[in-house]
Structure 1
Amino acid sequence: MISPTAQNLDDDAALRRSTVLERVSEGVVALDTDLRYTYVNERAEQILDAPRSQLMGQYIWDAFPESQGTVAQDAIDEAMATQTQQSFERYDSALERWFEVRVYPDESGLSLYFTDITDRKASEQELAQKNRQLSALVANTAQAVYLKDRAGRYQFMNEAAASLFGLAPEDAVGKRAEDLFDSESAAQIRRIDEQVLADETADSYEATRFIDGNEHVFLDNKYPYRDEDGTVVGIMGISREITERKRRQNTLEKSRQRLKSLFDDLPDSVVIHDAEGNILDVNRQTVEDLGYTRRELLSMNVSDFEVGLAKAELRTTWRTMEVGDRAKKRGRHRRKDGSTFPIKVWVDKTEIAGETHFIALSRDVTEPLRKEQQLEALTEEYRALLENADDAIFFVDVEPTDSGPEFRFERLNPYHEAATGLDSDSVQGKTPREVLGPDLGAELEANYRRCVEARAPISYQEELEMPAGTRTWQTKLAPVTVDGAVTRIVGIARDVTTQVRREAELRRKNERLDEFAGIVAHDLRNPLNIAQMRTTLSVEDPSYESLHREKVLEALDRMEAIITDTLVLARRGNEVESLEPISVTDLTAQCWDMVEADAASLVVEDDCTIEGDPDRLRHVFENLFRNAVEHSEGDVTVRVGRAGESVLYVEDDGPGIPPADREAVFKPGETSQEGGTGFGLSIVKRIAEAHGWTVRLTEASSGGARFEFSGVEVLSS
């Protein structure tokens, strides 16, 4: 049986509408006031997986006892108790489809409509997935997100939330609800917050708030926010403004409550027409969609408002269909005001009272198309971001296993491929260990695991040896969460190699500057004091003026030597300008001529050609020769030779240097010679290191000092 309203119609109309209910794509069920089945259409019979003959007259909870205590019983009980429309969603595992069930009460009982929303569900899930990925790369969201402490002070508010109050996110920190909302709204917010903190459970509710005198409707979700120890320290909230949606829902709800029959309660436009397209009947939705009155529509032809399909195409479709066939089309309807909108239409050919009729159910798909376009736009934005970003972006899939999460590379952006020498095709589906080896792979996996455990973005600096070379990266990892589980990690890495090297070089320069400043300040003080004192004495005691003048000149010479050596060490000790082949025999001969060594002798044991900067190396050999002569009082033999493939030595037969003092002699300012600057051997060490050599001080076979240089590039011998 059908509702009393349908029974009061004339037989033809009742027959037509009954036929419609059998042909609609929705499941339709009617229950009396005792919740016993009075009508079940064919589609509902499929969805419920029960023959209507068995259901008719049966109490609903006897027929489906497993649904008691579920959202279905709650919605039906609420509809009967309040006489207001209710709805819920239901998944049919047998059909593998999702249905939205809407419950409408009237004086005869309840009407239930099962609408297939599988496509919408799939579209929503796909869009949600894309949004989650984009949200991991972007630092904000369209929804208002905030964090409060237990005292109700906002600790964080994203841009979407702060913009509701005309604030920047940082300006909202420290404010309370009383600073942002009217007093009534603030008091309600405070009560809900206190309840969430007391129960330590999440709360979701719909709330009306007034901001600057304007009414806003929000869908609020609040969760207890815990610290690392699990202690609730505040509240995290996500608010979605549904003001416009709520207004539309209220308008639609009021409209639906005025409908008295199953036919007019159908949410889709229904048009019944003959084989020529002349309209025989329409439902209320058709009237609302097109803007015509029902009387106007009954005098029209389908082709009067169907502008997406040509009249010839419509007629061909109707003519080629058999009774019982269904055709699915995409079209476009024109309203009375001239505006148009896209539709999906399902046309059924049937017989009513022996006459051929067509039932056309059409649906406005403006919003699904908008979502589809939005999804395409998001996809394009997502692709453009990956393809054009100047940072290395990578995606890592997180797969749960018994031993913990397993990580596999999913994709690299072009910059990542160019900077590291890796490519998406070769790394896709592989673990970090498989791509980069056990050591480096384990290091990367440890960072990924830390991100999963934190369930929040993490940042760190790392030095990685990739096929394209060793680089230093500033890396940020962000987890992507689906249904409460981290399923993917999005990583963004910025190459900071040049910056790190520049900072290290600046630190070294600053350290040298401090070092030289200390040396100059310390070592110049004594000769400066001597010069000042002797100048004063020469004035007070003219008889010793010549002696004082001699001492002043010695002090000035000493100061000049300190300054000269310091400048060599500071400006040129750590650099080489040009490398060229150098004859060791020629170079050492030139340097020996610069040393006052009347009683000393130079012996070149091995003549060879090395690669180096001749200007810098002159400082090396001159300092070594001068050091040997000065420490031996002039009577010394200095030998230069090779001690292996890449080792060059300079040794003397002087008194040598005790082992305990050998490390200290390379420090600036260290000297055991009276009148020495203490910079000579420091200059030797710095210039050697600038060539990539290492220098070691040891003892010669004669007992003297032996300096060995390793890493020398010997070109010929």
Structure 2
Amino acid sequence: MISSTVQDLGDDEALRRSTVLERVSEGVVALDRDLRYTYLNEQAEQILDASRGQLMGQHIWDAFPESKGTVAQNTIERALATQEQQSFEQYDSSLDRWFEVRVYPDESGLSLYFADITDRKHSERELTQKNRQLSALIENTAQAVYLKDRAGRYQFVNEAAANLFGLTPKEATGKRAADFFDSESVAQIRRIDEQILTDETADSYEATRLIDGEERVFLENRYPYRDEDGTVVGIMGISREITERKRREKTLEGSRQRLKSLFEDLPDSVVIHDAEGNILDVNDQTVDELGYTRRKLLSMNVADFEVGLSSEELRAIWTTMEVGDRAKKSGRHRHRDGSTFPIEVWVDKTEIGGEERFIALSRDVTEQLRKERKLETLTEEYHALLENADDAIFFVDVEQSDSGPEFRFERLNPYHEAATGLDSESVQGKTPREVLGPDLGAELEANYCRCVEAGEPISYQEELEMPAGARIWQTNLAPVTVDGTVSRIVGIARDVTSQVHREEDLRRKNERLDEFAGIVAHDLRNPLNVAQMRTTLTVEDPSYEELHRKKVHEALDRMEDIISDTLILARRGNEAESLEPVSVTDIAEQCWDMVETDEASLVIDDECTIESDPDRLRHVFENLFRNAVEHSEGDVTVRVGCTGDAVLYVEDDGPGVPPEHRETAFKPGQTSREQGTGFGLSIVKRIAEAHGWTVHLTASSDGGARFEFSEITLLS
């Protein structure tokens, strides 16, 4: 194949182009239509680790049987069958290098170009690892992420994807493409899904979708999703909406002669020039990129379109190179219309026909630089988000050991430092136990372990005692996985202390409203019914008018008592407005005079002074004194005093309260008397709690009731 092509060219052109193919940085291979080797250059010999003598005329799969059944075979045979350009990437373990293989068909067979993309692969991996942890912060940000099973049902939809259709992720889960898209889009999605599931390869394409009557364009990246055993169980997709995307398609001429095809179809611009920069030959890519005709270019100098390097800089490069040397430079080419674009150029100094010549292979890197700038911008945006977010963001490194994962703080954002009193410098490299102590540290590590074991984000609420004080946080943890192992945890914690307290206050208010509604609905109904019935009987039976009137007054008095006690509970039962020194003796004696005590007597065991709200304390004594008198035959002794362990007590020698009723005695509406409201002890308990006291009901030494208020502030 090669020899016949050479015969069709002039000796100078054939020699020149053969030399080019031997000097290019890419491996070049030619196969006939039976997939037998007809040509390979020196670079291809190194990449394939085989000599021309071994491979010429041999079938490709006989030479490399280990490649059968791989993506290499699928791609090469597809290019031969469809006569369309194909490409795939391949790793050479012996060279520890990555290559991009581009396959170009023509009527003679196939041309294969092996381009070394190891640097690009390493760069991509570094950028991927760097951005993986940043992407975890905002759950893939605005990109729509989804996971489908083999039947096409969405098993996972992130918030960005669900928002496209006005749904929540939960509402979108379980649906199919037909629930969201038109029939044409559904057919395309199914076709691509089937291809991915069959070939088990990823796919990337642009798609136009009709959403809410509006055409929107997305860049779709879809991948086979595998379970832990490596079986493909579905499809994972990332969809990014784009406003404009241009793809430049390269159509290769299949009818060119074989040697010219190998030279012309190189994807890079090739310029052959002498030591002065005068151009001797160019390929079609150079013509396309610069916009000049081939005839015009052959009359030009490299300095006529290279504007990134001056003429002096170019000649300095050429004069310092020896035959066999290669140099890589960055430059900028100027198009015929005056526009410029950045390039990377590889310059080889070689001999062609006994003359020293330079072969310059250049590549337009506009798109590459745009992507790099975009990634740099994205990194800066993430950094700005981290530095200015009003949430506490932290990074925890995960180290695997025989005893399980170990966690060490790596970084805290400024809000985290201000809210907790910690700082990145002091916590970096330390475990949670070292920073926050064994108890709280163990609690944090338990949550981190849950995140590692789940392998997915988790959320929970926690109350933490930090150097800056106790706060309640709503915390979200997201694992960062590298090579299947969780290597870091990214945490975002939001201070919800005020919200939780507001919710707790609202809950208590609602409970009190329910309680008061029950009182009005239940406890007022009985005396109201009595008053209504007696009023009716007074009219129907005047002879008992006096008796009915008395019963009506009693019912109304009871209603007044219930309303009075309820208002105390509703308005001030949980308040202690102003605390001040209060003489227990004075308050107790004043309250005794306000209660109908009959033959009862009051004894002050200790004259003491405590810190209290005097108005609220009066309600306590009045209710307890009234309770003691009403539950006895009237001849009862009530004793008041304080003990040295900060306990205030009120006790009597009446009948007391049975042990089985002491737990429920403080509940609203609980009473053992027919005429009692059942709120007296409830008021006592509420007022005690408002002071921060604890009240207990027990038996006195005489068998009566004894109320003890602990945790009081005893002043004297």
Match of 1:13 in 2: 13
1:693 deviation in Å? 1.1
Match of 2:26 in 1: 26
Q: Distance in 2 between matches of 1:405 and 1:327?
A: 48
1:613 deviation in Å? 1.4
When residues 239 and 653 of structure 1 are mapped into structure 2, their CA distance, relative to the original with a 3 A threshold, is closer
1:493 deviation in Å? 3.4
Match of 2:43 in 1: 43
Q: Distance in 1 between matches of 2:99 and 2:155?
A: 41
CA displacement 1:461-510 (0-9 Å, x = unmatched) = 44444444444433444454556665554443333333333223222222
1:336 deviation in Å? 0.8
Alpha carbons 2:461, 2:473 under 8 Å: kept: yes
- How many pairs does the alignment contain? 706
When residues 28 and 392 of structure 1 are mapped into structure 2, their CA distance, relative to the original with a 3 A threshold, is same
Q: Distance in 1 between matches of 2:270 and 2:505?
A: 78
Match of 2:139 in 1: 138
Q: Distance in 2 between matches of 1:642 and 1:162?
A: 66
Superposed, 1:91-170 pairs within 5 Å as: 91-105=91-105, 110-129=110-129, 132-133=132-133, 135-136=135-136, 137-138=138-139, 142=143, 145=146, 147=148, 150=151, 168=166
Superposed, 1:196-275 pairs within 5 Å as: 221=222, 236=235, 238=237, 248=247, 251-255=249-253, 258=256, 260=258, 261=260, 262-275=262-275
Q: Could you list the runs of 5+ residues in structure 1 that have no partner in the other structure?
A: none
1:340 deviation in Å? 1.0
Q: Give the aligned residue type for 1:574.
A: N
Alpha carbons 1:30, 1:112 under 8 Å: kept: yes
CA displacement 1:390-446 (0-9 Å, x = unmatched) = 333344555666676665554443333433444444555555566556665565555
Calculate the aligned-residue CA RMSD, in Å. 4.5
Superposed, 1:238-637 pairs within 5 Å as: 238=237, 248=247, 251-255=249-253, 258=256, 260=258, 261=260, 262-397=262-397, 409-428=409-428, 444=444, 447-448=447-448, 451=451, 456-481=456-481, 488-536=488-536, 549=549, 551-597=551-597, 599-637=599-637
Question: Any idea what SS the aligned residue of 1:88 has?
Answer: strand
1:616 deviation in Å? 0.9
Q: Distance in 1 between matches of 2:323 and 2:508?
A: 90
Identity %, equivalent residues: 73
CA displacement 1:634-658 (0-9 Å, x = unmatched) = 5443322222322121223344333
1:588 deviation in Å? 2.5
Question: Any idea what SS the aligned residue of 1:666 has?
Answer: coil
Question: Any idea what SS the aligned residue of 2:250 has?
Answer: helix
CA displacement 1:336-389 (0-9 Å, x = unmatched) = 112110011222334444444332221111111011011112112222222233
Question: Any idea what SS the aligned residue of 1:382 has?
Answer: helix
Alpha carbons 2:143, 2:238 under 8 Å: kept: no
When residues 348 and 381 of structure 1 are mapped into structure 2, their CA distance, relative to the original with a 3 A threshold, is same
Question: Any idea what SS the aligned residue of 1:252 has?
Answer: coil
When residues 64 and 546 of structure 1 are mapped into structure 2, their CA distance, relative to the original with a 3 A threshold, is closer
Q: Distance in 1 between matches of 2:408 and 2:61?
A: 49
When residues 454 and 73 of structure 1 are mapped into structure 2, their CA distance, relative to the original with a 3 A threshold, is same
1:457 deviation in Å? 4.3
Alpha carbons 1:345, 1:361 under 8 Å: kept: yes
When residues 701 and 357 of structure 1 are mapped into structure 2, their CA distance, relative to the original with a 3 A threshold, is same
Q: Distance in 2 between matches of 1:511 and 1:244?
A: 54
Deviates more, 1:456-465 or 1:696-705: 456-465
CA displacement 1:149-179 (0-9 Å, x = unmatched) = 95x677876788789xx95557988566498
CA displacement 1:70-107 (0-9 Å, x = unmatched) = 44455555556666544332223344321112344556
1:599 deviation in Å? 4.4
When residues 574 and 528 of structure 1 are mapped into structure 2, their CA distance, relative to the original with a 3 A threshold, is same
Question: Any idea what SS the aligned residue of 1:254 has?
Answer: coil
1:332 deviation in Å? 0.9
Q: Distance in 2 between matches of 1:407 and 1:188?
A: 46
Q: Give the aligned residue type for 2:662.
A: R
Question: Any idea what SS the aligned residue of 1:665 has?
Answer: coil
Q: Distance in 2 between matches of 1:298 and 1:218?
A: 41
Return the TM-score normalized by structure 1. 0.82
Alpha carbons 1:181, 1:209 under 8 Å: kept: no
Return the TM-score normalized by structure 2. 0.83
When residues 110 and 281 of structure 1 are mapped into structure 2, their CA distance, relative to the original with a 3 A threshold, is same
1:12 deviation in Å? 3.4
Q: Distance in 1 between matches of 2:218 and 2:703?
A: 94
Deviates more, 1:171-180 or 1:692-701: 171-180
